[in-house]
Chain A
Amino acid sequence: MNQIDTRGLSCPQPVVLVLSEIKTGNSEFEVLIDSEASLENVKRILNKNKLEFDVKENSDHTVYHVKR
């Protein structure tokens, strides 16, 4: 399973990385996020592509686990 680490990246980089992962068609991947703006922006790109995901909160970052 691919892991996309967006920690430390600023907008729009996290969305660009997630979009290119979506385009690969992989059935499962994780996105590591550490900024409020990216939490919202990545949620938007996932919703737009009708992808469902679980949210796991860690101490210093959040993980979106996407499964098609």
Chain B
Amino acid sequence: MKGLKFPHTPNTLVAFDTSDDAGAYQISNDIAIIQTVDFITPVLNDPYKFGQIAAANSLSDVFAMGAKVCTALNIVAYDSCHITKEMLNEILRGGLDKVIEAGGVVLGGHTIEDLEMKYGLSVTGIVHPDKIVRNNTIQPGDKIILTKPIGMGVITTGIKADMAPQSAIDKVAFHMSYLNKIASEIAMEIGVNAMTDVTGFGLLGHLFEMTNEKVSVHLDYDSIPIIEEAFELAETGLFPGGSYRNEKYYKPNVILDRKDCTQDQLMLLYDAQTSGGLMISIPGEKADKLLDKLKLAGLEWCCIIGEVSDSKERNIIIG
């Protein structure tokens, strides 16, 4: 969007300029609306699960801002000659179920003809203007918590290549359709400094977008939850194109500080995710409490993956 100017109004709270998860617009003293839109091409073959995943992915941006989901509109592009009405219905049923689970309603939508299937939602949420959680307000002394494992990019590409084992398909279907709602609510209850969801820029890309000129982040590779089957698929060369774009763009700020980490293992941290988890930056002294509560709520795969230090370098150091 080079050269385009988006004028702000006094009510504009969050817009394009900070690479945040969604836009925010204040409509009264105590209500801001959060707006986001996202749609994706099929990531697996089951239409109902695809609908669930596409919706969970779209809803996630609202949760990443610390907001509650209110309304959603379907966005559908499909090839009526090859996708049956029943399949389309299953996709929409999956999406509807996730919007209901998120506490929202579907008010309508729009469908167009397209050779490549696409589905997603435009979502509106609400939050108190003072409670909006930004993505780039992490502080020295914070710990970083990740609420879903990574590996979705290589595994979904592996599914397209018909090379992913069933165990991997089951794991990504489970995690990608899992709403970030509970994690967001618990984070808001305890109080966090910054939050985002891990999607197209990969773990390292989104983590870099969380940093600012006052901090660096130290990651502990062994603490990062990675779906086991992703390693084999990484070696096979099944990274989506976006993962390599992430590597090229974010590499200058990433320092690898351990010798036994292979290129494939490192590359998984750049892997573009679909419907990834929340990455939460929380004051160090509160991190264990948040982790315990997340695990108690059933998110036993959550981990503390790193910590934030005072530094002008704005680097991500992997140890």
Contact = CB atoms under 8 A, between A and B. Distances in A.
A40 B239 contact: yes
Interface residues of A, number: 18
A11 B157 contact: yes
Contacts of B239: 11, 37, 40-41, 44
Interface in B154-197: 157-158, 160-163
A65 interface: no
Nearest to B158: A12
Interface stretch (B51-59, B76-84, B101-109, B230-238): B230-238
Chain B interface helix/strand/loop/mixed: helix
B240 A11 contact: yes
A16 interface: yes
Nearest to B239: A41
A54 to B, nearest CB: 18
Interface string A17-54: 00100000000000000011100111111011000000
Nearest to A47: B235
A37 B236 contact: no
Contacts, number: 52
Given A36-B244, A37-B244, A44 B237 contact: yes
A11 B235 contact: no
Nearest to B157: A12
Nearest to A35: B241
Interface residues of B, number: 19
A48 B237 contact: yes
B229 interface: no
Interface in B236-271: 236-241, 243-245, 248, 264
A20 B36 CA distance: 42
A41 B241 CA distance: 9
A19 B264 CA distance: 18
Contact of B237 (A10, A15, A35, A36): A15
Given A10-B241, A44-B237, 17 more contacts: A11-B160, A11-B238, A11-B239, A11-B240, A12-B238, A15-B237, A19-B236, A36-B244, A36-B248, A37-B239, A37-B243, A37-B244, A40-B237, A41-B237, A41-B238, A42-B237, A43-B237
